[in-house]
Structure 1
Amino acid sequence: MTTLYDFSAQDLAGTAVPLARFRGQVLLIVNTASQCGFTKQYAGLERLYEELNGRGFAVLGFPCNQFGGQEPGDAEEIASFCKLQYDVRFPMFAKIEVNGAGAHPLYRWLKGEAKGLLGSEAIKWNFTKFLIDRDGHVVERYAPTTEPAAIKPDIERLL
């Protein structure tokens, strides 16, 4: 059976990160963008990370430019934006595609494990969120409109 731990992704510095590094943690995986109507959710995601990280929780951010060109920057610009605007401390990864032929293997797996509205696998917009349990399995998929604070009770149940 495939789990999150079977994948790796590049961080913003271009270093390959085996996601097995997060084994045993509860994770919230989010496709992000710096020029999106939902960008303000960075603040809520960081708040969750700060509050729950000591209990074995992390947020993993995956910038994506597939929705309205809302993440046009390069890795350095993304890192700078996240730090200066939201003081993001949770792990951020290199920009990826989440849909189509070029979709990152992690996102192909996530979408297959937790379908969206009306059973669709496609990610509809930035800030779609996937909750992962301590065993590396997808527990839930949340719409971009779901505020991070609304997910906190589900995260705490898994901690």
Structure 2
Amino acid sequence: MHVERRDRWLTRLSVSFLAVALITAVAYFGFCALTSGEVGKPSAVSCSDVMKFAGASMPAQATGASCTDTGGWMDRGYTAEFTMPQTDLAQRLTTAFPRVRLTGDRAEGLDFANSQETNEARPSGQAMFLELKATYTAGSTARVTLEAFNS
């Protein structure tokens, strides 16, 4: 009788150990499948989706827009690049991107960010962080790069 009870206990222990090992292996391979391949690789995305996430609109006279999803499996992130005239650049960008403020005025261009925005003031579903960089190019244009992301 005593040996029979010990055998049942050993059987239950063995089955439990086997179940834990099997569940761990399945979870590991599932995680690897999720995080490999296309997840986390930059891919083209609609610029209207990027502007919506940034709480912005594409500025008037912006040309050559290119938008990319740069997010990973746990975060959202987008990059938008476009060219626009330098005329009234700071005013036009703050109008199109109302959540950012001018943070730097350099000889090469302008920098904007939403660094003063509190998390409570951030509209639901929109990016936590916005960084906008305008770099003056040849002629009277500027190349603008937007990074909108959560972390």
TM-score, with length taken from structure 2: 0.27
Greater relative contact order (Cα < 8 A, sep 6+): 1
Structure with higher strand content: 2
Higher radius of gyration, 1 or 2 = 2
